[in-house]
Amino acid sequence: MKKTSLVALLLTVLFVAGGCRTASLNYQRLDNPALTRISVGATLGPGDVFEVRVYREPDLSGSFRVPPSGVIEFPLIGAVKVDGLTPTSVEEEIRERLKSGFLKSPWVTVFVKQYNSKKITVIGQVQRPGTYPFESEMHIIQAISVAGGFTNTARRNYIIVTRRKNRAERRIPVPVELISRGLAKNFFLQPGDIIFVPETVL
């Protein structure tokens, strides 16, 4: 009897240890900066709204919506093509053109308010499945909230984010329940992500 009990105890310890290693590996995978950080290469497109600030130049600062032509009219320098450019590239374009005969050392910053040209899709066990505008620094909790939250049958700790990059598709499991409880780092989305909330397996 003692020998049998000892074997059972050893098997239990090995099982628990194996489970802990698996959970640790999944957590490390989620902590990978490449998976949690928003892509800094997101470009502007028609419908996007962004703000330009020129330090100590309030008349040159303001908000712009990218028109279908992809070209905005900026004070002093005129037409600026922004469609297909990153916010950083827009900053550089405006800065260089202002330096050419208008301001000595302009300090230009661009903040994207709405990525209306970029979308994320939420499907599965949420109240309002559908496609929604992507927002700067949008995270998984925010996306679920925009879609109305989980249904009662949602499997909250195994959300699948499908991400396409360079024609390759990647499926990333995200433990949303752990994130909401502060036990895992938040997961930041990228334009085009598809969030699938599966049903709980009873």
* Residue 195 maps to a domain: no
Count of domains for the chain: 1
- pLDDT confidence bin for 94, thresholds 50/70/90: very high
Q: Is residue 134 part of a domain?
A: no
- Per the domain annotation, does 72 fall within a domain? yes
Q: State which residues form the domain around 76.
A: 49-114
How large is the average pLDDT for residues 53-64? 96
pLDDT in tens, 25-51: 233 333 343 333 344 468 999 999 999
Asked, for residue 59, whether it belongs to a domain, the answer is yes
**Spatial CB neighbours of 25, under 8 Å, sequence gap ≥ 6:** none
Residue of 161, 166, 167 whose CA lies nearest to 194 = 161
Dist CA 94 CA 96 (whole Å): 6
> CATH number of the domain that 89 lies in?
3.30.1950.10
Q: How far is CA 37 from the centre of its chain?
A: 7
In a domain, 63, yes or no: yes
Give me 34's structure tokens: 């490449």
In a domain, 54, yes or no: yes
Amino acid at 62: G
Q: Which stretches of 58-108 are DSSP H helices?
A: 87-99
In sequence order, the 6+-apart residues with CB closer than 8 A to the CB of 177 are: 156, 157
Strand ranges (E), 125-176: 130-134, 159-165, 168-174
Closest CA to 44 of 73, 64, 74: 64
Give this prediction's pTM.
0.62
Provide the 3-class DSSP secondary structure of residue 132.
Answer: strand
Residue pLDDT, tens place only, 112-138: 988 899 999 999 999 999 999 998 789
Q: How far apart are CA 44 and CA 85, in angstroms?
A: 6
Assess if residue 182 is contained within a domain: no
Q: Which residue has the higher pLDDT, 11 or 160?
A: 160
